[in-house]
Amino acid sequence: MNPIPTFDAVVLGAGAAGLFCAAQAGQQGLRVLLIDHAEQVAEKVRISGGGRANFTNRDLDPSAPHKHFLGGNPSFCRSALARFTPHDFIALLDRHGIAWHEKHKGQLFCDHSAQQLIDMLLAECAAAPAHGGRVERWQPCRVQKVEFEAISPDGRRGNCLGSYVIHSDQDAVQTPSLVVATGGLSIPKIGASAFGLELARQFGLKVTDTRPGLVPLTFDGAAWAPYAQLAGLALPVEISTGEKKQRAVFHEDLLFTHRGLSGPAVLQISSYWRPGTPIRINLAPGVDLAEELRAAKTRSRKLIAKELTAWMPTRLAEAWTGLDSAWQRPVNEAADKALVQLAERLQRWELTPTGTEGYKKAEVTLGGVDTRGLSSQTLAAQAQPGLYFIGEVVDVTGWLGGYNFQWAWASAAACATALAARHADLRRAPEAL
């Protein structure tokens, strides 16, 4: 019987975090196996940013992760983000000659294609032999089960060290270090699954409740009927949800859809929204609309809808004034009370979503492997030797705009450094393997 092939580390998941971790570990001299059940690598990278990959965000402040990240403990990601910053990833792109640009609010994109980013990650994996390592990839390859046998340094069974055996439809492999980079539940059509979360539970780690994040919001069909005609219309808004210290506010573009609302504003607020609670939208931010309409009344005979087009699209102005006969008249003929009421409705539009478009349209998964069971320095499970979780599978979720990719790069880099250190320790104590 042939012996089971052994690798210094096995990485499950060939997405952003998994590819980068494998490359970084390989370039630190490790023999790494990368396994993924999908036919293509990094499909989420490929489709992100409209095909140009919003790969990081310059505005990220590693010292204050709570500004841009959610989770049971947003501060958990501080260590990894501080050690591998947006500047570090930008430097890597520059070395590979990949042109990039800033869109707005610190969001960085490839000039040409997200494929350039994927090619760079694969090239980084291929560079491992020059550093004494190797990155091998099995894809498509489905993992059937993972087993662990704990061994103490004196050869007795225990819980201090051990080896993982990964059974797959290609072969069984053995490793002292297993990295789970399987992502979350979002966009199942490109291969998302709960495998990583199930593996965490198998080895005794807690998993926090999961739900779709950065996702369009939907509304009851009858209640949404007056606005369904606005599908495709976009405008800048202020959007918020929650109360007092828990209130989240964003200034972004809103997009009307046939089923509800989308666009950057809604994707951002969706990560903070809770079922049954309202969202509030200011459709004309930055102005005192009531005062502007009262002033227009003294100098204009235009329809109220025409006056509103100074601050919002015509279709929106016409749809909104069509909701009440008091607003369907020249501004100079409107009652002050009606104008104030219209302004308040437009600038304090409160509505309660009935749901979201779900994981099929969500860009990320909120929740995941509970960070209380992981080391913020190494991403290793505290109670299970040699087991690591990185990227989206962890309960760390960033804002829209490149933050989640930066978490993928940073957590992968921190994990790779830890893998190299652990490998060195194991080589000094071969009897523990």
Q: String of b and e for 109-120 (b: at least 16 CB within 10 Å)?
A: bbeeebebbbeb
Residue 147's beta-bridge partner residues? 165
Say how far apart CA 184 and CA 165 lie, in whole Å.
Answer: 23
Q: Which secondary-structure segment (H or E) carries 296?
A: helix 289-297
Residue whose pair of structure tokens reads 């790779």 in the numeric block: 416
Residues 126 and 135: beta-carbon distance below 8 Å: yes
Which domains does the chain possess? 9-211+362-432 (3.50.50.60), 217-356 (2.40.30.10)
pLDDT in tens, the chain (433 residues): 568 899 999 999 999 999 999 999 999 999 999 999 999 999 999 999 999 999 999 999 999 999 999 999 999 999 999 999 999 999 999 999 999 999 989 999 999 999 999 999 999 999 999 999 999 999 999 999 999 988 765 544 434 578 999 999 999 999 999 999 999 999 999 999 999 999 999 999 999 999 999 999 999 988 899 899 999 999 999 999 998 888 999 999 999 999 999 999 999 999 999 999 999 999 999 999 999 999 999 999 999 999 999 999 999 999 999 999 999 999 999 999 999 999 999 999 999 999 999 999 999 999 999 999 999 999 999 999 999 999 999 999 999 999 999 999 999 999 999 999 999 998 887 554 4
Indicate whether this model's pTM tops 0.85. yes
Strands 134-138 and 31-35: parallel
